[in-house]
Amino acid sequence: MPGGRLTQQDRQQIALGLADGLAYAEIARGLDRPTSTITREVMRNGGPTAYRADLAHRATERRTHRRSPAAPRGPQASPQPHGRDAEAVREYEETLTTVFMQSGLPKMMSRVLGCIYTTDSGSITTSELVQRLQVSPASISKAITFLESQDLVRRQRDERRRERYVVDDDLWYQSTIASARANDLLVETARQGVAILGPGTPAATRLENTARFLDFVTESLLRAAEQAREVLHTKAEIPEPNDQ
């Protein structure tokens, strides 16, 4: 039923939709589900090219069986600040992880980044990540090394000399700048082609139009990022308990 757990029939429909090349949103509409539900289901079960309905259903049953006998572990068992629903937070972390995976990050790196990003402090230790994600310290170390190489997290020491992993407030600004600058080489290469193929020829015109388009998009992104950068540094305003 819409809003409940995915059934085996739902998963078969997802598999058929993927085989037909349908977008996640279109599959979701057919099942009357949020797109995020379909995205998470596919990404946690092999991705669009390896998804199998029967395997996905069995994997979900195994996960459910592992959770049900004992008290929840990790983030489910942790008390949540600000009156948050622990299960809703856990599900949101899964959704955010899926979005990071869709953007190209490997699964473990996405899980770690999602975990850090949903902490109020924006920082976390290895032991906290191990407890929350139920993985080995080696897995955390590998993920952090990768994320650090991509400028997605940084390390710092707290007052107890523990190493903490931090999501910088400027993360999305730096990411946007890097993404925009990635077009520079394409623009330069396209304009080299114009000179070689002869200005005014159909092929050269196509390349020149590409260069002009990317130039415009890049400059627009850079200006917008600079103008909006301060938004990333807006501080939270948590109301007092007796505020309405």
Q: Mean pLDDT per 10-residue run, the chain (244 residues)?
A: 76 91 91 88 84 86 62 51 81 85 86 90 89 90 90 84 85 83 91 94 96 94 91 74 52
Spatial distance between the Cα atoms of 45 and 208, rounded to a whole number of angstroms: 43
Type of residue found at 20: D
* Parallel, antiparallel or unpaired: strands 123-125 and 163-166: antiparallel
Q: Give CATH for domain 74-166.
A: 1.10.10.10
* Residue 157: its H or E element: strand 154-157
What is the predicted pLDDT for the residue at 145?
93
Among residues 7, 4, 48, 46, the alpha carbon closest in space to that of 26 is found at 48
Residue 96 in tokens: 């955010």
What is the predicted pLDDT for the residue at 105?
85
What is the predicted pLDDT for the residue at 70?
47
* Residue 10: its H or E element: helix 8-19
- 154 within 8 A of 174, measured Cβ to Cβ: no
**Contacts with 130 (C-beta within 8 Å, 6 or more apart), sequence order:** 136, 137, 140
Is 194 buried (19+), middle (13-18) or exposed (0-12) by CB count in 10 A?
A: buried
Residue 187 in tokens: 């623009």
